[in-house]
Structure formats: structure tokens, C-alpha cells
Copies of this chain bind each other. A is one copy, B any other.
Amino acid sequence: MTTKTKAPEAATLPLNQILGGDCIDVMNSLPAGSVDLIFADPPYNLQLKGDLHRPDNSKVDAVDDHWDQFSSFAKYDQFTQLWLAAAKRLLKPNGAIWVIGSYHNIFRVGATLQDQGFWVLNDVVWRKTNPMPNFRGKRLTNAHETLIWASRDEGAKYTFNYEALKALNEGVQMRSDWVLPICTGHERLKDEAGDKAHPTQKPESLLHRALIATTNPGDVVLDPFFGTGTTGAVAKMLGRDFIGIEREEAYRKVAERRIAKVRKFDSSALEITGSKRAEPRVPFGQVVERGMLRPGEELYSIGSRFKAKVRADGTLIGNDVKGSIHQVGAALEGAPSCNGWTYWHFKRDGKMVSIDILRQQIRAEMSEGRPH
């Protein structure tokens, strides 16, 4: 039997629960620096949701339109500043955040993120395959929403599963525009009356991509505007822990029922395509020490334009240049850098073979008998 290893503070985190209350208060009550990722779908529309954290419910006269508008933007900014500050406090140093919005609010959110020192990594466009048309023909069909992906600080070592996303996209880099359908059909949750349970339920496919991209299994994902719990449902499927915060009890109930039905995917299915960067380093000297190449043996560049001789200490000498396989390759090519492993080749049975083959052999021997 294995025990899941957790950071100490994680023991006090209310994992895989939906918390009631105001998200700012709740976030401020949780331990700082304890969350890997935050996914947030804050209220969008200033005009329709003007009661947002607003002390008075008085309706402003139409004459004062301009002032009201300015005033409600200011209120919205204040709200945004508060919940983003709380979110930043909760994140681990290498944590990151996603926020989704539309043109009604995303500029306020983006500017506030930047003002608070978050570092924007990408803005991502969710391009809807089946948006609601513009019925009156007065504007363009509003066919997308915008997500901002930002690390907690500039220079943070954020998580990005590049190879997994490339695999999801048939072998080419994932772009900043994601084409996905809106949430309809069976996936769309209904209330007792058969109406949609939440007005802006996000599709699981969107969360699937965001979580595969920027978390690893076992990570803690917090959603301060949990709604009907799409973030929690996908996190559970993918073997991530979640924390949901939702003010409305009706939504919490729907989300709880929903998530209880979700099953985690088989953990072998959750292994994703890994990065070469994660593989152990092999010093070229080991190739010489193990006798896979002999001192004095000659290596050839791609196309055999250059050659160099192996020395006993694992350095090369070629054209009076001495140094590592990388340094000599770079010097001969006049390039700023060079990956010597893929650049140099040796002769076996009259054929040119990349020295990277030797590195792979060493790695295979290293991993023998080791759990993976």
C-alpha cells in the first residue's frame, strides 16, 4: 500500500470540496502558497450584473449614464483587484492562473493581472464552433471568448506540458486559438424544471485542455467561481485535486451531484507524452569511459563537413578547437550553440551513426530495474 505524498500545508487544505461563501473571504482564510493552479470564470457583464459587491441597489438615472458607467467600471475593478490579490496569495511561487472572460470584462481583468505583477504567458481564444448568432444584425457574431494564462510572477517556472499539447494537436504545436463547441446536450446540466442549471456552464473540453496543459496529476486546482463545477469534474477525471468556492447554494448542490458521478480515468491513461528535458543528463565522458567510443576515434559532422577527434577526458579536438562536443560543434559551425549529441556521428561498418544512439543506450541501462 502506498501513501500519497503531500506537502505539509496540503494536509490542512479542504481538498475535493466545495466551499460556500464569498470567494474573497474564503480564499483569504486558506493557507498562502498552497495552490498549483487557479481557474477562474468571474462574472462578466457589468451592465447586467451591476449589483456586484455594490452597497446600494439604487438605479441610476439615464441622464447620468456616463457617470454610472465609470462608476460601475471602478466597482468592477475594485472587485477584480480584491479577488486577484487573494488568488495571488494562495498560489505557490511557481503557480499559475487562468481567467476567462469576454470583451465586457477581460480588459479590466488583464490590466489588473499585469498591475499586480502576474506575468501573462498567453492570451488564448476559445473559438466557438456553434456560437449564438447576432439576431439583430447590428454587430459581428460574438463567436469567441478570451482566456488569459499567467504565472504568479515574472520568471516563475510555470508548468507547461508542451509535448502533451503537441500530441493533442496531431503533432504540431498547440496554437493560442482553440476551436471547441459550447456546452450543450447531455453535458449541459439541467435543474428540476428542466432549464439550464447555470447560464454560462463551460465545456469540459476547455478545462481538459487547460488542465492537461498546465498541471500534473496530484496538483491542486482552485476555482473561486465554481458554478456547477466543470473545473472540479475535469480535475477529478484527470487525477488532480480541486477546491471549489461557490456562493450560491443551488449551484453547489448541482456541482456536488455532478462530481460524485465522475470517475477518475485509469492512471495509465493519464500518463502523457513527456519532454526530453525530463530525461536524465548523460555526460559525453561516460561514452568514452564505457568504451563505446575510443580516445583517438574520429567523429564527423552532419554532411561530414567537419571532423574531430575524441580525447580521453571526453572532450573533442578539431581544427585546433578543443572543448565539449557542444562547444566544438558550435565553434566549427560559427553558431551560437550546438547540440553535440545530434551533431556528431561516428563510423560503424562504413555507415555514419549518430552519437545520440550511444546516449540512448546508456539511458536504457540506467533505467533498467528502476521503477518508471
Contacts and interface: CB of A to CB of B under 8 A. Distances in A.
Contact size class for A?
35 or more
Contact of A57 (B285, B314, B333): B333
Contact of A324 (B121, B171, B269, B333): B171
Given A142-B122, A154-B65, A268 B170 contact: no
A349 interface: no
A337 B55 CA distance: 10
A167 interface: yes
B281 A170 contact: yes
Contacts of A167: 285, 313-315, 324
Contact of A265 (B294, B324, B365): B294
Contacts of A107: 106-111, 113-114
Contacts of A209: 289
Interface string A272-292: 110100000111111011110
B170 A283 contact: yes
A44 interface: no
A131 B160 CA distance: 20
Contact of A205 (B272, B289, B336): B289
A316 to B, nearest CB: 10
A125 B57 contact: no
Interface in A288-320: 288-291, 294-296, 309-315, 317
A291 B205 contact: yes
Interface of A: 53, 57, 65-66, 69-70, 73, 102-104, 106-111, 113-115, 117, 120-125, 127-131, 133-134, 137-144, 146, 148-149, 154, 160-165, 167-171, 173-177, 179-181, 187, 203-205, 208-209, 212-213, 237-238, 265-266, 268-273, 275, 281-286, 288-291, 294-296, 309-315, 317, 322, 324, 333, 335-338, 365-366, 368-369
